[in-house]
A and B are shown apart, each in its own frame.
Chain A
Amino acid sequence: MFMKNIISSFLACFLLTTGYAQKIQSVNTPSEMYKSSEVPRSASVYGVFAGRTPCQEFMTELNMGIRTECTKRKMGVILYQDSVTHQPTAYKTWGMGKWTGQGKWHILRGTPTDPQAIIFQLDLDPSTSLFLLKGDDNVLFILDRNKNFLIGNADHSYTFNRVIN
């Protein structure tokens, strides 16, 4: 409980230095990102998705080693598309440690429990991929290497939300 209070307090301090632009809304629309200048807008951008997730399962799934002190990750991804065909082209990630960077992404179909599910596969390197399940246009869920959902905790979930500027 004491640790949770410390974490909450630290987070609050961080939020107050970064989150003033955030709004609590009565409607269900994407929220502004605190650094709106980082959110590109053009026909070649499919979307910008951000979230704060637990850490351990993510690091395990993406072969990032073990850092027991890591309790959460602040991360996101910009997904680019061909402005004419709308086919996936490149991605750019942040907050993903050694996997922060750029690469290609593709659209796949199917998880072990839903053959129709739409999956975004980000090629991190030739043998490592990040799988994101498309919940809808605005919400993505991070999957494990077998395309199963990752389970979060009381503080954070493995979910990315569309953000705007």
Chain B
Amino acid sequence: MNMVQLVHTVIAMITTFASPHCSTTARDSSVLGVYVGTTPCSGIIRPLHKISKEPDCRWSDCHCAMVEWKLTLYRDPVTGKPTSYKLTSTNRFIVKQTNMYSQPGTKTESQGKWTIGRGTKTNANAVVYQLNPDKPEISLSLLKLSDNLLHVLDHERNLMIGNEFWSYTLNRVAN
């Protein structure tokens, strides 16, 4: 390596470690992933989103028809083990006078612990993320389909069944 190459190498190293991208990467090592999705507003997911219960209702009559999720899962940057989660969501109903979804919707935010376990009703080896394992009343389980997809489970660890409009799959968008 001649002198010119050495200088270029040093400059490249300085540029890399000083760049916003590098600092972002370091900061984001505590984030396992950010997952988003839009799901029906079934009774099973309501406690986690702080949405009031209501009897089974026709879509157009419900106080909550759908929920938009943004779930951030945090981990220990050294061990990689689960630490906390942050969930922000917006739920909407259908405004009868205008036939549109309510705007800006009702926003909620929650946070808590999450853990990694195993087993759904049909697959004992499936990886399952559990939000709020220490609080059964607001606990919710998510099947890890892949690094990029999670799917909400019911209390018996069956896959939640969506409808022809919305599903219970969350998609990774960052990290």
Contacts and interface: CB of A to CB of B under 8 A. Distances in A.
Same assembly: yes
Interface of A: 5, 8-9, 11-13, 15-16, 19-31, 33-34, 50-52, 74, 76, 113, 135-136, 138-139, 141, 148-149, 151-159, 161-163
B151 A52 contact: no
B36 A154 contact: yes
Contact of B169 (A12, A16, A113, A152): A152
A26 B164 contact: no
26 contacts: A11-B101, A15-B94, A16-B60, A19-B59, A20-B59, A23-B57, A24-B57, A24-B59, A24-B62, A26-B44, A26-B55, A28-B42, A30-B161, A33-B164, A52-B164, A52-B165, A135-B151, A135-B159, A139-B161, A139-B162, A149-B148, A152-B169, A153-B173, A156-B38, A157-B169, A161-B162
Interface string B132-175: 00000000000001101101001000111111111111111100
B interface bracket (residues with beta carbon within 8 Å of A): 35 or more
Contact of B65 (A5, A24, A135): A24
Contacts of A34: 164
Contact of B56 (A24, A52, A157): A24
A24 B42 contact: yes
Nearest to A160: B167
B37 A154 contact: yes
A74 B167 CA distance: 12
A13 B62 CA distance: 16
A151 B169 CA distance: 10
Contacts of B173: 153-154
Given A31-B162, A153-B173, 4 more contacts: A9-B100, A12-B100, A16-B60, A33-B164
B8 interface: no
A156 B38 CA distance: 7
